[in-house]
Amino acid sequence: MHPMLTIAVRAARKAGNLIAKNYETPDAVEASQKGSNDFVTNVDKEAERLIIEIIRKSYPQHTIVAEESGELAGTEQDVQWVIDPLDGTSNFIKRLPHFSVSIAVRVKGRTEVAVVYDPMRNELFTAVRGQGAQLNGYRLRGSNARDLDGTILATGFPFKLKQHATPYINIVAKLFTQCADFRRTGSAALDLAYVAAGRVDGFFEIGLKPWDFAAGELIARESGSLVCDFTGGHNHLTSGNIVAGNPRVVKAMLATMRDELSEALKR
């Protein structure tokens, strides 16, 4: 196993165990609002602390970019660990058992290692660039859908960016006439992992943060899926506007979405 993957898996499992334990004892969970429609709990913070502690023991010189702590610069800036300690905080607060730990390692701007761990199902999605994607050690291949007919598409509402509500709803409406159904799970990291596993055929979302999709993107790509922005380019790393699925599904999604994109969503 790639040495950084070993550490990422160890950190994800330790954080996941903490999250699962607190899920069973909801009275110990303290939630607060950190922004518009944006929540954090003491469990997010403690899980992040555990992850950082494990990374720092093995790689004290690496830079860490974490949802709650921000950027923790190291002497080796070319290597970045991108962490979301609890992707799906709102689900966790509401005791809806669908959330994950997301850890990615980027080297010179390119994601090399990825882990998405679902502690409630004990599902560990992993990828190393060029070596494929796995779920609990078994190789993943994405959907083989040839077009949108009969597909299940995952998405997430732009609840922090409601200025995009109208184009988003229009995009959903157009896609809905061509696909079979939609899923909105509340964890972008798991949505991308599910694309990799073929559990959903495609995914799109507006305005994600790097820690939301850094790991899931590599896992999806290593399963044979395509990941891009809303115009088919690679600006999703900056804009957070992301589409994923096999190349045929993505092509069909982009063609359907094109006429509904505002200028802001074309960037």
Is the pLDDT at 1 greater than 80, yes or no? Answer: no
The model's confidence at residue 267, banded by pLDDT at 50, 70 and 90, is low
Segment 221-232 shows an average pLDDT of 95
The model's confidence at residue 35, banded by pLDDT at 50, 70 and 90, is low
Q: Provide the β-strand partners of residue 118.
A: 123
| Cα Dmax for the chain | 51
Q: How far apart are CA 112 and CA 158, in angstroms?
A: 28
The per-residue pLDDT for 29 is 85
Q: What is the pLDDT of residues 120-147, one digit of tens each?
A: 999 999 999 999 999 999 999 999 999 9
Q: Is 149 annotated as a binding residue?
A: no
Q: How far apart are CA 143 and CA 224, in angstroms?
A: 9
Is the pLDDT at 6 greater than 80, yes or no? Answer: yes
Instruction: Return the DSSP state at 11.
Output: H
Is 167:190 a contact under the CB 8 Å cutoff? no
Is the pLDDT at 244 greater than 90, yes or no? Answer: yes
The per-residue pLDDT for 57 is 97
Is the pLDDT at 84 greater than 90, yes or no? Answer: yes
The per-residue pLDDT for 10 is 98
The whole model's pTM is what? 0.95
Least confident of 61-70, 131-140, 146-155, 209-218: 61-70
Is the pLDDT at 34 greater than 80, yes or no? Answer: no
Q: Is 87 annotated as a binding residue?
A: yes
Strand order in the sheet with 202-205: 181-183, 152-156, 202-205, 242-245, 226-228
What's the chain's average pLDDT? 93
The per-residue pLDDT for 67 is 86
The per-residue pLDDT for 187 is 97
- Domains in the chain, start-ordered, CATH in brackets? 3-139 (3.30.540.10), 152-266 (3.40.190.80)
Segment 25-33 shows an average pLDDT of 82
The model's confidence at residue 162, banded by pLDDT at 50, 70 and 90, is confident
Is the pLDDT at 37 greater than 90, yes or no? Answer: no
The per-residue pLDDT for 38 is 67
The per-residue pLDDT for 73 is 84
Q: Which residue has the higher pLDDT, 263 or 183?
A: 183
- Please name the residue ranges forming H helices in the chain: 3-23, 42-58, 89-93, 165-176, 188-197, 210-222, 236-239, 247-257
Segment 152-168 shows an average pLDDT of 89
Q: Is 84 annotated as a binding residue?
A: yes
The per-residue pLDDT for 5 is 98
Segment 100-116 shows an average pLDDT of 97
